[in-house]
Structure 1
Amino acid sequence: MMLEAQNIHGYYGKSHVLQGVTLSVRDGETVTLLGRNGAGKSTTLKSIAGVVTPQQGSVKFKGIEVAKMQPHKIAARGICFVPEHRGIFKLLSVEENLRLGARKQSPWQLTDIYRIFPRLKERRTNGGGQLSGGEQQMLAIGRALMNHPRLLMLDEPVEGLAPVIVEEIVTQLKLIREAGVAILLVEQNLEVCTQLADRHYIIEQGRIVYEASNDVFIADDSVKDRYLGVGVV
C-alpha cells in the first residue's frame, strides 16, 4: 500500500475538523476525495502532507509513519502536495519556478515537463504572475513532478478554469497516472473525477461516509444527490 491514513483527527484551533478520517491509496492508483465545501477535504490533504499536524491517528507512507514529520521531510519521501492556491512564485520565470522543485533522481526533468505541458515551454521566460490560471496550475503540477513524487496530491486543480483548459489538464493527468504516479485528488468537477479515478471517497463533517470503485460510483445517483448535492444529471 502506498498510503494508509487511519483515524486522523485534525483541528484548527478548537475546531475539530477531521473526526477519524481513514483512507488509502495503492501503488499507481488514482483516488478522489469528494464532499461539500467545509467537509474536511483540504484539511485531509494538509494533514497527510504535514501542513496540519494530526492530533490523533496514523499516516503511513510506504509502511513508514509520517504523521509527526515536518512537511519538507514528508515531501522528500515522495508525497508532493499541490495546494489550491498553487504556490507559484510570481516574480520568478516559469523555468526558475520549475527548477526550484528539481531533484536529480526524479524521472521527471525539465524536458519531460515541457513535453507534457507545451504551454510552459512557450512561456518559460515569462514570470509566474504573467500566466493564466490554467498555466499556473500546469506550472504547479510540473514543479511537483520535478520533485520526484510517488504520490501526487492535488487540491481543486481545475477550479475556475475554462473547459478547454480543464480538458487539457485532464489529458496531462492521465499521462502522469499512466507513468505510474499515484494521485489523491480533491475536485468538485465530477466529470473530471470519474474520468481519472479508480476509487472515490466521500467525506462529510470530517468523517468518511462512502467508498466505492469508479464504476459503482458512476451508477449510484442517490449517493451523489445525498452527499454532494449535485442531483441526477
Structure 2
Amino acid sequence: MSKLVINNLHSYYGKSHILNGIELAIESGEIVTLLGRNGAGKTTTLKTIVGVVKAQEGSVQLNGENLVGKEIFEIARKGISLVPEHRGIFGILSVEENLRIAIDTNSPWSLEDIYKMFPRLKERRKNGGNALSGGEQQMLAIARALVNNPNFLLLDEPTEGLAPVIVDEIVRILDQIRAAGVGVLLVEQNLSVCEKLADKHYVVELGEIVYQGSKAEFSKQDDIKSRYLAV
C-alpha cells in the first residue's frame, strides 16, 4: 500500500506566504478532500505537491521518499498526477490522440479500460478536444491522467460548472478509481459531492489545516462547515 504524506509544507508566490505548514496524508484506495474558501490555499497545495510551485520548507513523502526539490517530470514519474482546474486538454488533438500521448506502457489502464469507464469518450474518440463539452473535457483530463499510471490522483475542482447529471457521472468514476486502489486528493467546492465520496476531510484556512476528520466525524461538524466553508 502506497502512502503520500505532506509535512509542514510552506510555499510562496513572490513574497506572499501562501502555505503555512500544511500537513495531510493519503493512502492507496482512499479519497481525501481538501476543503476551504477561495484563496485558502487549496490549489497551491496541489501545485506544491507536484512541484509546479516550489516548496520552501517541509516535505512531500511518497512511501518515505521526499519529493521536494525534484523536477515536475520526476514527481510525475513517481506516480503523482495532477488534473488542474483548466484541464489542459489539447484542443487540436482528438480524444484518442490526447489519451495516446499520455500512455505509460506500465499502466494497468488500457484504452479499452478507459472507454469502458468513460463511454462518452469512446463515442467521441475521433472528436477534437475543442469540440467537447466541459464535462467531456473533464472526463478526458481524468482519463488522460489514469493512462499515465498514477498511484495518486490530485483533482482540482472537477465538477465546477458541470450539469448535475455529469456530476453524478464524475462521482461514479471517482468511486471506480478508488476501488482500483488509486489514492485521490480532491479539491472541490460541491460539499455534497465531497461528503458522498470522501473517506477523510481536511479544511484549510489561510494556508493552514484547521480541521481534519473522518467521513463520520465531519458529517457532525456543522460549526466547522459554517465557520470555514459557508459563503
TM-score tier (shorter): over 0.9
SS where residue 168 of structure 1 aligns?
helix
* Counterpart-to-counterpart distance in 1, 2:160 and 2:15: 29
* Counterpart-to-counterpart distance in 1, 2:159 and 2:199: 19
Shift of 1:27: 2.3
Under a length normalisation based on structure 2, what TM-score does the superposition of the two structures give?
A: 0.98
In structure 2, the partner of 1:210 is 211
In structure 2, the partner of 1:192 is 193
In structure 1, the partner of 2:176 is 175
* Counterpart-to-counterpart distance in 2, 1:22 and 1:103: 30
- RMSD between aligned alpha carbons? 0.8
Shift of 1:217: 0.5
Matches within 5 A, 1:130-169: 130-169=131-170
User: Which amino acid in structure 2 is aligned with residue 2 of structure 1?
Assistant: K
SS where residue 33 of structure 1 aligns?
strand
Structure 1, gaps ≥5 residues long? none
Structure 2, gaps ≥5 residues long? none
Shift of 1:29: 1.2
In structure 2, the partner of 1:227 is 228
User: Which amino acid in structure 2 is aligned with residue 95 of structure 1?
Assistant: E
Cα distance per residue 1:109-168 (max 9 Å; x no partner) = 100110000000000000000000000000000000000010000000000000000001
* Counterpart-to-counterpart distance in 1, 2:102 and 2:191: 30
User: Which amino acid in structure 2 is aligned with residue 87 of structure 1?
Assistant: G
Shift of 1:90: 0.3
* Counterpart-to-counterpart distance in 1, 2:29 and 2:179: 8
Residue 109 of structure 2 is aligned to residue 108 of structure 1: yes
* Counterpart-to-counterpart distance in 1, 2:39 and 2:146: 28
* Counterpart-to-counterpart distance in 1, 2:185 and 2:167: 17
Shift of 1:100: 1.4
Residue 6 of structure 2 is aligned to residue 5 of structure 1: yes
Shift of 1:218: 1.1
Cα distance per residue 1:175-204 (max 9 Å; x no partner) = 111111100000000111111110000000
* Counterpart-to-counterpart distance in 2, 1:19 and 1:145: 31
The answer to which of 59-68 and 86-95 deviates more is: 59-68
* Counterpart-to-counterpart distance in 1, 2:221 and 2:135: 31
User: Which amino acid in structure 1 is aligned with residue 80 of structure 2?
Assistant: I
SS where residue 95 of structure 1 aligns?
helix
Residue 75 of structure 2 is aligned to residue 74 of structure 1: yes
* Counterpart-to-counterpart distance in 2, 1:36 and 1:210: 13
User: Which amino acid in structure 2 is aligned with residue 17 of structure 1?
Assistant: I
Q: How many residues are matched? A: 230
In structure 2, the partner of 1:88 is 89
User: Which amino acid in structure 2 is aligned with residue 215 of structure 1?
Assistant: A
SS where residue 21 of structure 1 aligns?
strand
Cα distance per residue 1:23-51 (max 9 Å; x no partner) = 11122211000000000000000000111
* Counterpart-to-counterpart distance in 1, 2:172 and 2:55: 34
The answer to which of 87-96 and 19-28 deviates more is: 19-28
User: Which amino acid in structure 2 is aligned with residue 23 of structure 1?
Assistant: L
Residue 41 of structure 2 is aligned to residue 40 of structure 1: yes
